[in-house]
Amino acid sequence: MSRDLLLLLEPGFSRPDHPAAQGFVCPHSTLLEGLLAVQPALAERIEIRRLPFPRPRHAVIELVGEDNQALPLLLLAADSPVPPQAAQHQGRYFLQDARQIAAYLAEQHAAYHL
């Protein structure tokens, strides 16, 4: 993997615990969508994937294991600096806290810093 990979939840999902309601958004993914909106060049420096809400999230499991399916998630490229708060799965480092992800992206890739 040559670039950091940001995994977000697709907006507009439905939830099994609220079958009558439609159009949910993840507040944590939305925070990062806002960062991407105000810094469009950021999207050119990292890879971004938006995934459906339901679990199991096989695409995530393949990268960081079954216990780490929560999104958003930033998987760091092999040559990216590793912050002290990063978690690790089989030699791959990642962040799952939206504020930590935003700060990391701003520090490493963005034109503006938080």
Domain range annotation of the chain = 5-109
Q: Rounded mean pLDDT of 27-54?
A: 94
Question: 9-30: buried (b, 16+ CB within 10 Å) or exposed (e) per residue?
Answer: beeeeeeeeeeeeeeeebebbe
Tens digits of residue pLDDT in 16-29: 888 787 788 999 99
Pairwise CA distance, residues 2 & 80, whole Å = 9
Residues 71, 32, 94: CA angle, nearest 5 degrees: 45
Q: How confident is the model at residue 62 (pLDDT cuts 50, 70, 90)?
A: very high
Token couple for 5: 């990979």
Q: What is the pTM of this model?
A: 0.92
pLDDT reading at 56 higher than 80: yes
